[in-house]
Amino acid sequence: MAFWLWVLLAAIYMFLTRPITANNERAMVPLMNRQENYPFAFSTSWQVLGPFQIGTREATWGSDPLEFLGGFRALEYDQNAQFRSSIPVNGTAKWSVIQAKQTTSTATSANASLSVSYSSVDWDFLKLVYGWAAVQYQAWARGEIIIGGNEIQHVILYTDWILEFWVNDTHYFGGDFFTFRKAPPVLYLTPGTHRIDIRLVRDVRALGGINNPTIDVLVDLQKASGTLELAKPGILMSDVVDGRLASPAGSVVLRNSGEGDVEIVHVQSSDRNANSSVVHNAAKGVVIVAGQTRPVAFNVSLPSSNSSSISYIITYKLLNIEGPLSKLTISQNLTKVSSYDPHKITYFHPGGMVSYAMLRPPARNATCKPAHNATLPILLQLHGAGLEADNGIVAHALDSVPDLCSWVLFPTGVTPWSGDDWHNWGFADVEAAINFIPSWINFVGWEGPNVDVNRWIVSGHSNGGQGTWYALTHRPDRVAAAAPVSGYASIQKYVPYELWQPMDPRRTAIISGSLNSYRHEMLMENAQGIPVLQQHGEIDDNVPAYNSRLLSQVLFQAGTNSNYYELPGQNHWFDTVMTTDHLKDFYRAQTTSTDQIPRRLQNFSFVVADPGDMGPKGGLRVTHLEDPGRYGRVQVIGHVVQTSNVQSLELETQFGLTNTITIDEQDVEMSQANTSGGSSSITLLKTEGVWKVRSANQERSCSLLTNQVDSLSADREYSGENSVLRRRGRQLGTMTAILRTRGPFIIRHQGPQTAHIALQVSRNLHQYFSAEAEILVTESLEDISGSGNVISVAIGEVPPGLHPDFPIQAGAFGVSVRDGSGRLQTFGGHLAAGAAFLRPLDDERLELVLWGVNASGLSQAARLVPTLTGVGQPDFVVLGEGARWRGVEGAPALGFLDHMWSVTWSSVV
Ligand SMILES: *[C@@H]1O[C@H](CO)[C@@H](O)[C@H](O)[C@H]1NC(C)=O
Ligand SMILES: *[C@@H]1O[C@H](CO)[C@@H](O)[C@H](O)[C@H]1NC(C)=O
Ligand SMILES: *[C@@H]1O[C@H](CO)[C@@H](O)[C@H](O)[C@H]1NC(C)=O
Ligand SMILES: *[C@@H]1O[C@H](CO)[C@@H](O)[C@H](O)[C@H]1NC(C)=O
Ligand SMILES: *[C@@H]1O[C@H](CO)[C@@H](O)[C@H](O)[C@H]1NC(C)=O
Ligand SMILES: *[C@@H]1O[C@H](CO)[C@@H](O)[C@H](O)[C@H]1NC(C)=O
Ligand SMILES: *[C@@H]1O[C@H](CO)[C@@H](O)[C@H](O)[C@H]1NC(C)=O
Ligand SMILES: *[C@@H]1O[C@H](CO)[C@@H](O)[C@H](O)[C@H]1NC(C)=O
């Protein structure tokens, strides 16, 4: 959230300075007087029940005390009812009735904003004891949607700052916790009254920890077209630089608010001379199922170099129905800039959709014009939470240092919250933007200095300061220098996890272990050899300076080269926060530094939480951990290597490959390695305590074997050596590894009974990650032709996966889990309502299975699809019904899968 205060102030400023027009006045009709005249309305009175405790990002697990009583939906307002609760006076929560802060209705929309607060809690005292964890709490609110007239209305429902709600008996999980407003559900509402129950969850990162802890939410209904329509943010395309497009990739977000599935046939320029863009390379077009919001990529071309806008016609038809083609016209005004200004470039995220970044090429008169064909590094500036990169305060933050000897890139991380806080999804976007620069150079015919895409100076503010730590600790061989500003060390250090529901320490360890890769305070040794400049405002009440002070101390103890500048009297943000004198000097010095990158290091240590998101350091890459629930560690002194919890590693040339290395007191002959045949790296593998070189040949035959296995049908019996399905690369990590997809997600499900959840998964992936997903009804893996990761949604029987002897099986009987010792444990009845677990697919793809014994169990499992950071989903989770109120303690089995897809010892089974 990093930026919430600023954003709030800006919003207030914009509100105060908005032009007051006749239109604006006309829209403001108080609901109470005119409600019967409008087809849409929300009730002005709301029944509220709370407060109850909730831990940081815990709500995803359930942990709702009212579920113990059958859920809020089963309770009716009762002024005298009392509910036990850990935070209010007398330990009792009660019903109350509040008036919406504002309700507004027009002919095509209605909204209601609620502001809930509790004086029955001594917040200040609780905060003294539990800190910011204390001002996060939960409650429920019940209101009504009133549909006038006598027609069924197709509407979309925005749910700002809301994670979960019910409309009558239909449950919606995911909501819009950060007010992205990208993927609202489509509802078909009959005339009359519909009950809406909203779960209120307070989050300090989103709403702040200093002021009165109110929960402010907004529900907003908008009439939908009932067919294919343009969704926000509409068209994404590059800026026009010096009369030509900066990049050709364009994208339009479309929503199907009708009741039948729609297929996009093509996207065609309305200019007759321009080329049409056939969507997708497959024979089939892009299908947008009823209710789905989906981005569609197309190639943009300018009608002429002096055009001021583009216009495209989208041709579509109802799926599987012979009928006329329909058309939707979209247009977009062009933004024209000089190629030297920060401007928008578009490119493909590995998830298959188009993303953007702001690029500032090296200045025309930068004093460092390379004498020979040198290349310049990239200065990355990562933005704070709640901001778009094309916002001037991001893209123009470095205008006062126009003459840097570098490229400057302001990535988005895909969303204002940078996907998953600049981690798997967000950082993949940074790397895609970086790797696009050479294409930009070709495309616009740039004649200035070239780019070194492997040499980065990373900086960023707030959430972007945290992203800078992520880059530093996870890509140490790319980072020439780093300047994290006002960032947090880890989400647990930002807002403590104290008030989660009580749980067994082994379960705590699994949740915490699932977040290992994002605890920068544990990874500071990875910064050895890299210059770091830290800066933080002394009185920052948004991200406390404690975060930077802690990392400064840990950096010192790790023997790194770092400086910490604390700015007296400064808060979180001010105009020139990214261009203080220290920072300007640092940018200038580090962009012109002649250090060789990657650095060749003699002595260093390397800490790895998840090999799937970790680059090499000093030419050494950890490829597998023994127990993925714990950190792995490597200590290097010359050619003596000490490891802990490491199962295999890879040495690249700049490690300094010699004849022999000593690893864990064993001498290993490197000459065994066949480094010819193109491969310049050596893989070392530990088997039963003995380290051995794995030759390039072995590697090849192994992957050949895997390919063979992969191409065989799924019911094949495996035995002996051939049963090997090794978990590797992008498959490693926790459930968030599903985000390392190559290509759009594929959501496969069973039909009408699973359609609601399939749609919810697609909505959440688009809402929180701007991701693209294809929804398919199929049992067979063979029907799934895309390259993306698969999310399988199932009630009753789980469709077969690639691994025939997978340790986790789910079906009408419940769930069985084969633990590390081969013992089979079966969970049934209330202990196995639902389950979520990863399974392997070929080519390093993954499948995430969401299973429920019935529809309600499935909706429990579907909560665990990664959306918010900090939830801590491990590789597999079996959910009992009790998780609804007990949270993680209500999961009878959860934990990790190792490099052979076996359940680890550290799991709870
Ligand atoms: C305090 O809690 C007790 C037990 O839950 C209840 O009987 C009593 O009515 C409550 N008192 C007030 C003032 O709410
Ligand atoms: C509520 O709706 C009205 C009318 O469309 C609009 O002017 C107003 O901005 C909306 N309020 C919020 C908080 O979005
Ligand atoms: C909600 O329930 C009411 C009363 O039973 C009914 O009239 C209405 O159609 C329901 N709405 C939806 C969306 O199911
Ligand atoms: C249309 O495509 C052709 C072939 O790819 C290309 O030569 C031509 O320049 C394109 N026209 C426009 C207006 O982009
Ligand atoms: C866009 O153009 C490129 C290069 O001409 C082509 O490979 C790609 O398939 C096109 N994409 C779409 C969506 O039309
Ligand atoms: C483009 O600009 C014109 C004139 O400024 C404006 O009327 C129009 O609404 C804009 N169109 C879009 C799609 O933004
Ligand atoms: C070139 O340098 C001058 C003086 O430093 C500066 O005012 C001007 O903006 C620079 N021009 C460009 C294109 O960077
Ligand atoms: C260096 O750049 C010049 C001018 O751009 C070019 O003619 C020459 O081929 C380049 N030399 C090398 C070795 O890349």
Nearest Cα to Cα of residue 802 among 861, 773, 845: 845
**CATH architecture classification, 730-895:** 2-Layer Sandwich (3.30)
The pick from 40, 220, 221 for probing ligand 2's pocket by mutation, whose C-beta has the most ligand atoms within 8 angstroms, reads 220
Ligand 8 centroid to 373 CA: how many Å? Answer: 6
Ligand 4 centroid to 276 CA: how many Å? Answer: 9
Instruction: Give dist(CA 705, CA 451) in Å, integer.
Output: 39
Q: What is the pLDDT of residue 271?
A: 81
Residues lining ligand 2, Cβ inside 6 A: 27, 104, 106, 109, 111, 113, 218, 220
Q: What is the DSSP string of 127-155?
A: HHHHGGGGG-EEEEEEEEEEE-SSS-EEE
pLDDT tens, position by position, 859-905: 999 999 999 999 999 999 999 999 999 999 999 999 999 999 999 99
- Of the bound ligands, which one is closest to the alpha carbon of residue 372? 8
User: What residue ranges do the domains of the chain occupy?
Assistant: 21-224, 225-335, 338-599, 603-696, 730-895
Position 447 pLDDT exceeds 50:
yes
607-617: average pLDDT: 97
Q: Does residue 10 or residue 28 have the better pLDDT?
A: 10
Ligand 1 centroid to 472 CA: how many Å? Answer: 54
pLDDT tens, position by position, 667-676: 998 875 555 5
Tokens of 142: 């019940």
**332 CA closest ligand 6 atom index:** 13
Q: Is 401 in the pocket of ligand 7 (CB under 6 A)?
A: no
Amino acid at 471: A
Q: What is the pLDDT of residue 284?
A: 65
pLDDT tens, position by position, 242-265: 989 999 999 999 999 999 999 998
Position 642 pLDDT exceeds 70:
yes
* CA–CA distances in Å: residue 256 to residues 165, 565, 691, 845: 22, 51, 56, 29
Position 32 pLDDT exceeds 90:
no
Of all protein residues, the one whose alpha carbon is nearest to atom 9 of ligand 5 is 281
Q: What is the pLDDT of residue 38?
A: 84
**82 CA closest ligand 1 atom index:** 5
Average pLDDT taken over every residue of the chain? 90
Q: Is 189 in the pocket of ligand 3 (CB under 6 A)?
A: yes
Tokens of 10: 């800006």
Amino acid at 540: D
Ligand 7 centroid to 360 CA: how many Å? Answer: 14
Identify the bridge partners of residue 481 per DSSP, sorted by sequence position.
457
Nearest Cα to Cα of residue 634 among 660, 658, 654, 605: 605
**269 CA closest ligand 4 atom index:** 13
**CATH architecture classification, 225-335:** Sandwich (2.60)
pLDDT tens, position by position, 834-867: 999 999 999 999 999 999 999 999 999 999 999 9
CB-based contact 386:340 (threshold 8 Å): no
Sign of CA dihedral 332, 338, 342, 346: positive
pLDDT tens, position by position, 119-175: 999 999 999 999 999 999 999 999 999 999 889 999 999 999 999 999 999 999 999
pLDDT tens, position by position, 367-392: 675 554 579 999 999 999 999 999 99
CB-based contact 504:643 (threshold 8 Å): no
The pick from 277, 294, 354, 442 for probing ligand 5's pocket by mutation, whose C-beta has the most ligand atoms within 8 angstroms, reads 277
pLDDT tens, position by position, 325-384: 999 999 999 999 999 999 999 999 999 999 999 999 999 877 675 554 579 999 999 999
The pick from 92, 94, 95, 118 for probing ligand 1's pocket by mutation, whose C-beta has the most ligand atoms within 8 angstroms, reads 92
Q: What is the pLDDT of residue 303?
A: 84
CB-based contact 315:266 (threshold 8 Å): yes
Tokens of 498: 């104290």
Nearest Cα to Cα of residue 136 among 50, 74, 78: 50
Q: Is 364 in the pocket of ligand 7 (CB under 6 A)?
A: yes
**CATH architecture classification, 338-599:** 3-Layer(aba) Sandwich (3.40)
**234 CA closest ligand 6 atom index:** 13
Ligand 7 centroid to 365 CA: how many Å? Answer: 6
Residues 6+ apart with CB under 8 A from 694: 648, 683, 684, 685
The pick from 8, 111, 160 for probing ligand 2's pocket by mutation, whose C-beta has the most ligand atoms within 8 angstroms, reads 111
Q: What is the pLDDT of residue 19?
A: 35
Query: If DSSP codes are grouped into helix, strand and coil, which group holds residue 4?
Result: helix
Q: Is 523 in the pocket of ligand 3 (CB under 6 A)?
A: no
Instruction: Give dist(CA 170, CA 47) in Å, integer.
Output: 19
Q: What is the pLDDT of residue 654?
A: 81
Q: Is 331 in the pocket of ligand 6 (CB under 6 A)?
A: yes
CB-based contact 777:751 (threshold 8 Å): yes
- Of the bound ligands, which one is closest to the alpha carbon of residue 338? 7
Q: Does residue 320 or residue 203 have the better pLDDT?
A: 203
- Of the bound ligands, which one is closest to the alpha carbon of residue 449? 8
